[in-house]
Amino acid sequence: EVGMVDKAIRSRLSAREVGEPSLDELLKVAEAALPRHADDLPPTDVLLSMTKERIVSAIDSGGEPPSFRLARKSVIEVLMSEVVGWR
């Protein structure tokens, strides 16, 4: 939001409207946020499937709009709940 940016920063930037990211784009961001080469983790496709469920649920419930932040947050939530065991 433009109103939340400092005047000194705003004078050097140009604001552009962009559309919401697609589910495919969100999943690419989510996959990039997953840890690599961890033998003790479930397979990447399983983690991505769980992450996709969280993203779709958050969007469908009206709780959050599609965003790259939501994709990264969903990965962290999946790792914390399904791998670490924190709920």
- Report the mean per-residue pLDDT for the chain: 87
Helices 68-78 and 44-60: crossing angle in degrees, nearest 10, is: 120
pLDDT top residue among 24 and 10: 24
Kindly state the helix (H) or strand (E) to which residue 39 belongs, with its residue range.
Answer: none
Q: pLDDT-based confidence at 1, cuts 50/70/90? A: low
pLDDT per residue as tens digits for the range 19-61: 999 999 999 999 999 988 777 888 889 999 999 999 999 999 9
C-beta separation of 25 from 31 below 8 A = no
Greatest pairwise CA separation for the chain in angstroms: 49
Q: What is the pLDDT of residue 58?
A: 95
Tokens of residue 38, six digits: 């961890």
- Which tokens belong to 56? 């779709």
pLDDT on residue 2: 56
More confident residue, 46 or 1: 46
